[in-house]
Each structure stands twice: as C-alpha cells, then as structure tokens.
Amino acid sequence: MEWHTCLDEYEKLVIRMNTPRVVIDNAVCPTATLVKVDSARRHGILLEAVQVLTDLDLSIKKAYISSDGRWFMDVFHVTDLNGNKLTDERVIRCIEESLGTMDYGRVNDFSGLTALELTGTDRVGLMSEVFAVLAELQCNVVEAKVWTHNGRIASLIYVKDCNSGSPIEDSQQIDRIEARLRNVLKGDNDIRSAKTTVSMEVTHTERRLHQMMFADRDYERKPILSHCTNYPVVTVQNWVERGYSDVNVQCKDRTKLLFDVVCTLTDMEYVVFHATINTTGERAYLEFYIKHIDGTPISSEPERQRVIQCLQAAVRRRASEGVRLELCMEDRQGLLADVTRTFRENGLNITRAEISTRSEMALNAFYVTDAIGNPADPKLIEAVRQKVGLSNLKVKELPLIYNEKAESEEQTVGVGGTVLFSLGSLVRRNLYNLGLIRSYS
C-alpha cells in the first residue's frame, strides 16, 4: 500500500509540474491585460499558447518569451480588438482554463462534419464555381475559410449532407465531390497543382491553411503586390557565440500576426527559445532567437533565404486587402453560391473569406477587390449590396487595430537599428518582465 501511495503522489507531482500555471493581471499595465504562463517546456507549447489567445480574438500588443532549459515562461500583453483591457470575467476564465490545460482545440469544434481541402491557381469567380458545385451535390457548407496569396488559393471547407444533416461518408459521393472540385480547380491551366482532399479529420483551420499554402510552395512564387507597398521586412542572422539564429520581422500590426509567424516557425521545425514582440502605433516588431529541433542554428544561405521567404508569405497570407463585406441573413441551400455568383458577375474578386453558420443564420465575411487586385469601385459594391439586400450585406469598418494612417505618416524603424537587440539584453528583459529579476538595465 505504501508503494502504491508513493506512486500516486509521484503521479500527482508530475501532473502539477507539467500543468501550465496561468496568472492574469489587470493592475500592472494601464493599457493592456497581462497574461503570464509558465510550464515545463516542450516543442509546440508556444504555438499552443498563442493559438488560445488568438482564437479568442485577442490582440497581442507585447510579449516576452523565454523557454531555455526545461522551463517555458511567457508574458503576453493583450487587449480586445478595440484596444481595451479585458474586463469580462467569462473571457478571463476561458483564458485561464484553456491555457491551464492547453486545450486549444475546443475553440473550433468541427466534429460531425466532412472537411474539404482545396488548393490551386486563384482566379476571379473560382469560389463561386466551388460553392455552386457543392450546392449541386447537396453539400451544406457549415464553416469555411479561404486564403489567397501570390496567385494561389487555399480553402478549408466543412460540409454536411443537406438531406440527412450528417457527415458525408459514402465513398461514391466523396469520389464525385473530389472529381468535380478538382475539375473546377484545374480550370484551363492548373492540371498539375490543383488538389482536392476529403477527410473526416478535425483540425485547427488556420494552422492547416498555413500548412496547405506552405506545401503548395506559395512562398517561392513571384509576389503579386498590386497596389500594396507595405511588404513585411524579415532579416535572419546567426548569433555565433550562443548558437542561435536571430530572426527579425517588421511589418504593419494586425490581429493574429504572432500566431502566423510562430505557426510557420513551428511547422518548419524550428524552436523559439527567446522572443520579444512589441507594437508601436501601427507597426509590429518581432524578434526571435531560434534553433532547429536538433539544437543547431540556420546553417546555409539557401536556408536563410527560405526562412525569409516563408515568413514573408506567412504575414501576407492573411493580409486584409480589399473591402470587407459582412453577410448576415437566414441560411438556405445555395446561399453561398448565389452571393458569390453576384460578386463574380459584378467583377469582384474574393481575396479572403470567413464563413460560418450559427443557429440557422449565415455569418460570413468576404474581402473583395476588383479583378486585378485593386480597390473595388464603390459603385460596384453598392450594386452588389442592392442585389443581395442592403440589410443583409454591409460594408464593415475594420477593428481599431486595422485602421490605417496615410503611408507618409508611418514611422519605419530600420532593420539593424533599434529593432535588433543583443541576446544578453533580450534575456535580461525577459527575466525582468517575468518578475525573476528586479532590473534589466
């Protein structure tokens, strides 16, 4: 009995050591809520923590990350999308519970649905054709996200059978869906790279979209900047004495930026040991000290260039180019096909989309430009709204974090200047913000 009691106590100790400790503090910072997390270190834990916060639609204004040795210690300064501190006790409890268990997958529950993964060459009206095929094949779209980047498109669509309301499991029906969608994606010139996959797996949608784009090698293609000149600046250099690679990202701030960067580094099998994230006005400055999983830094110029390209692509995939149109109306069979066909007939191109259904209501957001990626004519937008319904389709102002000033007012800090920190300074700063030392000066 004594031996079994010792084992039970040991198991409890292991659980306590490996369970993240979460502290949420609204008193320290006047402009943000501090979320402190410490836990035993393991690969991917930083991504899981950031994923919890971003899935709750929180904006990470600053962060100090340290995970050297066997322990993981982070401090995140977060606000809501309007830049306010967190005061809703339900949100605070959700953060504590989710980070305390790292049960980040429960935010998006797609059980009971069939997942369709699509990649191919982007073109005007493509998603209209996809949704028309799904409507014809009696597939009800419950959730979907669409990203475009560098002339490529990736989409993850969750569907169920219109008649039974169940997942689509019939092998013949699945074969028909895959064949029809593959033909749509191929068009006239994408025979080799168009891909369609049907699965029953439940996954984190946005991480999977990054993986799909990465597998499609969108980062290698010539950037299609259209009118956008605000391109992310990424530098990579090795810190030889410490064996780290120093990665700096400088770009316009936006929600989920840290998630996109950390997701890409994690899926490229790099480990973040230290990091400092800071936002000043509308700019974001992110610095990471990374190594491969095997403990080695970046070892060649081609690898360095690949990291730069991949991080630039990760930032750009979610860039909110175009007018945001929000559709809110009672859901019905074929609604998406009808609305997106109206976009296509009026020369509007979908650059990104977030589609969901809640309590029989369609709650969809579309980012649209003209056919060549320039800002859409307001007259075309109003014409589309007239056809869909002015009360159903609205032009939505972006949250505070997205508001832009004129390009001439942006203050850019030169890479290699104040953005760069020495490793010693970074570590001391992290320890200070984690409350482990009194001063980092």
pLDDT in tens, 366-420: 999 998 889 999 999 999 999 999 999 999 865 544 444 333 333 333 433 333 4
All structural domains of the chain: 2-106+229-318+412-433 (no CATH), 114-221+319-401 (3.30.70.260)
Q: Binning pLDDT at 50, 70 and 90, where does residue 189 land?
A: low
Question: What pLDDT does 199 receive?
Answer: 80
How much is the pTM?
0.84
Q: Are 139 and 336 in contact (CB under 8 A)?
A: no
Nearest to 323 by CA among 348, 298, 359, 346: 348
DSSP strand pairing (349-358 vs 139-149): antiparallel
Q: Are 19 and 100 in contact (CB under 8 A)?
A: yes
CB under 8 Å to 422, separation ≥6 — which residues?
none
The overall average pLDDT reported for the chain is 84
Taking each continuous run of H as one helix and of E as one strand, the counts in the chain are: 11, 16
pLDDT at 293 over 80: yes
Scan for tokens 């400790």, then name that residue: 21
The encoded tokens of residue 271 equal 């480990």
Side chain identity at residue 229, one-letter code: T
pLDDT at 6 over 80: no
pLDDT at 216 over 70: yes
Question: What pLDDT does 165 receive?
Answer: 85
pLDDT at 249 over 50: yes
Question: What pLDDT does 283 receive?
Answer: 94
pLDDT at 256 over 60: yes
Question: What pLDDT does 10 receive?
Answer: 46
pLDDT in tens, 85-109: 999 999 999 999 988 876 444 445 6
| Angstrom distance (rounded) from CA 63 to CA 22 | 15
Question: What pLDDT does 130 receive?
Answer: 97
- 198 CB neighbour count, 10 Å cutoff: 18
At what angle are helices 126-136 and 171-186 packed, to 10 degrees?
160
In order, the DSSP letters of 354-417 are: EEEEETTEEEEEEEEE-TTSSPPPHHHHHHHHHHH-TTTEEE-PPPGGG----GGG---PPTTT
Q: Are 75 and 50 in contact (CB under 8 A)?
A: no
Q: Are 224 and 318 in contact (CB under 8 A)?
A: no
